[in-house]
Structure 1
Amino acid sequence: MDFWQVISWCETEQIPAIAMHAEQLGFKGLILAEHIYYPAKTRSRYYYSADGVSPQTPDMEFPDPLISFAAAAAVTRTLEFMTGIYVVPLRHPVELAKNIATLSRLSDNRFSLGLGSGWLKEEFDQFGVDFSRRGRRTDAMLEVMRQLWRGAEVSYADEFFTLDRVKIRPYPSQSVPLVGGGHSPAALRRAVELCDGWYGPGNTLEDLETLVPNLLAMRKASPRREEPFQIVAPLLEPLTPEAVARLSAMGVSGTVNYPFLFGIGPEATLDDKKRYMDSFARKLLT
Structure 2
Amino acid sequence: MFVRRSNEEEKNKAMEFGIFLPISGRASGPDTLIEAARSAEAQGFNAVWSADRVVTPWQINTSYPYSENHEFIVPPDRPFLDSLTCLAFLAGCTEKITLGISVLVLPYRHPLYWARVAVSIERLSRGRLIMGVGIGWMEEEFAALDVPFKARGRMTDEQLQIIDALWTQEHINFTGQYYNFQDLAFHPKPLQKPRIPIWVGGEGQQAQRRAARYGDAWFPYFVTITPAELQAGYAHVQAQAREAGRNPEQILLTCCRPIELTAQPVPQDERHLRGTPEQLVEALQEYRRIGVKHLALQFMVPRWPDRVEQIARFAQEVMPQLRA
2:117 is aligned, of 96, 99, 103, to: 99
Report SS of the residue matched to 2:292: coil
**Larger CA deviation: 191-200 vs 169-178:** 169-178
> Does the alignment pair 1:257 with 2:303?
no
Partner of 2:6: none
TM-aligned CA deviation for residue 173 of structure 1: 2.3
> Does the alignment pair 1:168 with 2:189?
no
Deviations 1:26-72 (A, max 9, x none): 00101111111111112222233465432232134322222211221
- Structure 1 residues 209, 109: CA separation in 2 closer, same or farther (over 3 Å shift)? same
Contact 1:212 1:252 in 2 (8 A): no
TM-aligned CA deviation for residue 156 of structure 1: 1.5
Q: How do 1:101-116 residues align onto structure 2 when only pairs under 5 Å count?
A: 101-116=119-134
The RMSD of aligned alpha carbons is: 2.0
Report the Cα distance in structure 2 between the residues aligned to 1:11 and 1:197, rounded to whole angstroms. Answer: 29
**Larger CA deviation: 85-94 vs 234-243:** 234-243
Contact 1:102 1:171 in 2 (8 A): no
Partner of 1:237: 273
**Larger CA deviation: 141-150 vs 213-222:** 213-222
Contact 1:25 1:285 in 2 (8 A): no
The sequence identity of aligned pairs, in percent, is 25
Partner of 2:261: none
> Does the alignment pair 1:215 with 2:249?
no
Q: How many residue pairs are counted as aligned between the two chains? A: 280
1:204 is aligned, of 225, 244, 249, to: 225
The amino acid of 1:23's aligned partner reads E
Contact 1:104 1:172 in 2 (8 A): yes
TM-aligned CA deviation for residue 227 of structure 1: 5.4
> Does the alignment pair 1:278 with 2:300?
no
Deviations 1:217-273 (A, max 9, x none): 4335442216532222234322711122111111111213324xx22x23x34xx54
Deviations 1:109-147 (A, max 9, x none): 111111111111111111211111110000101111111
Report the Cα distance in structure 2 between the residues aligned to 1:216 and 1:137, rounded to whole angstroms. Answer: 23
Partner of 2:57: 39
Contact 2:172 2:182 in 1 (8 A): yes
Q: How do 1:11-160 residues align onto structure 2 when only pairs under 5 Å count?
A: 11-13=28-30, 14-49=32-67, 52-150=70-168, 152-160=170-178
The amino acid of 1:195's aligned partner reads G
The amino acid of 1:196's aligned partner reads D
2:198 is aligned, of 174, 178, 184, to: 178
- Unaligned stretches of 5+ in structure 1? none
Which contiguous aligned blocks of 4+ residues in structure 1 show a shift greater than 6 angstroms? Answer: none
Contact 1:178 1:195 in 2 (8 A): yes
Report the Cα distance in structure 2 between the residues aligned to 1:158 and 1:275, rounded to whole angstroms. Answer: 49
Report the Cα distance in structure 2 between the residues aligned to 1:276 and 1:59, rounded to whole angstroms. Answer: 26
- Structure 1 residues 47, 257: CA separation in 2 closer, same or farther (over 3 Å shift)? closer
| TM-score between both structures, scaled by the size of structure 1 | 0.90
Report the Cα distance in structure 2 between the residues aligned to 1:223 and 1:103, rounded to whole angstroms. Answer: 31
- Structure 1 residues 243, 220: CA separation in 2 closer, same or farther (over 3 Å shift)? farther
TM-aligned CA deviation for residue 108 of structure 1: 1.3
- Unaligned stretches of 5+ in structure 2? 1-14, 258-271
Report the Cα distance in structure 1 between the residues aligned to 2:170 and 2:161, rounded to whole angstroms. Answer: 14
The amino acid of 2:230's aligned partner reads L
Report the Cα distance in structure 1 between the residues aligned to 2:283 and 2:234, rounded to whole angstroms. Answer: 15
